[in-house]
Amino acid sequence: METLLELDHVTKRFGERTAVDDLSLRIGAGEIYALLGPNGAGKTTTLNMILGFLAPDAGQLSVDGFDVARDPMRARAAIAYLPETVMLNPTLTGIENLRYFALLCGRRVDASAARELLSSAGLQADAHARRTEGYSKGMRQKVGLAIALAKDARLLLLDEPTSGLDASASNDFTRVVRIASSRGMAVLMATHDLYRVADAADRIGILHGGRLRLERDVDGLCAASLESLYLERLAA
């Protein structure tokens, strides 16, 4: 399996506090990896280092073979990032937002292709030409995923993607993330939504106090077993 994201003994400190402590992980093409942990575990700091917004104090990070520190523009060009709240231009339609953000990434997308991408991301057809000011959070997330598909990103970073979504919207989101992974995209999902992870992820890592406490395949784990593992590692 081709490695699309690699963290090698990465450490990040803020003054005397160590936010990420000697973190190593690898994510391959087509793999969905869930980084679990409570608030303050180091998840967002890890994402910010992958994006090149923060420099590690030790260790190396690479995306699609490009070193994040030495070649930040090429590394970032391979990434699509969806924050907890996707910000769109409220005066533009779903189609217009997708075309605009794709253009910022150097991709020209016509209206027909934009509709296909939005449908692939699960956005209902009657919402494509509506202004996004009336979109729900789940609908904005779908536009964000469509933009990631338009960019043809190699790595998709998700920060608490299902926070605030109802069960139906969360299920839709999981389905579309699996579509992205089936196209060879590596997915790193930073979350504390244990029940959604049991359905969505191929592998998990439990991060606590900046350290990776456990890493394993999700295969065979039900949500209750995952919760027990999670609580055990947080208590250790």
Map out the domains of the chain as residue ranges: 3-78+155-235, 90-152
Nearest to 54 by CA among 105, 20, 4: 20
Give residue for tokens 């991408």: 117
Q: What is the pLDDT along the chain (236 residues), one digit of tens a residue?
A: 799 999 999 999 999 999 999 999 999 999 999 999 988 899 999 999 999 999 999 999 999 999 999 999 999 999 999 888 888 999 999 999 999 999 988 889 999 999 999 998 889 999 999 999 999 988 998 898 898 888 888 999 999 887 777 778 788 888 888 888 988 999 999 987 787 788 889 999 999 999 999 999 998 788 888 888 889 888 87
Cα–Cα distance for residue pair 164/181, rounded to 1 Å: 23
Cα–Cα distance for residue pair 73/49, rounded to 1 Å: 13
Nearest to 194 by CA among 168, 163, 173, 169: 163
Cα–Cα distance for residue pair 231/212, rounded to 1 Å: 14
Order of strands, sheet of 211-217, starting from the edge strand that comes earlier in the sequence: 79-82, 155-159, 186-191, 32-36, 203-208, 211-217
Cα–Cα distance for residue pair 177/35, rounded to 1 Å: 15
CA 75 from centre of chain: 15
C-alpha separations of 76 from 38, 147, 164, 221 in Å: 26, 15, 27, 33
Count of beta carbons in the 10 Å neighbourhood of residue 176: 19
**144: alpha, beta or left? (left if phi > 0; alpha if psi -120 to 50):** alpha
Give residue for tokens 């930073």: 190
Give CATH superfamily name and number for 3-78+155-235. Answer: P-loop containing nucleotide triphosphate hydrolases (3.40.50.300)
- Cβ-count burial of 47 within 10 angstroms (0-12 exposed, 13-18 middle, 19+ buried)? buried
Model pTM?
0.89
Cα–Cα distance for residue pair 234/236, rounded to 1 Å: 6
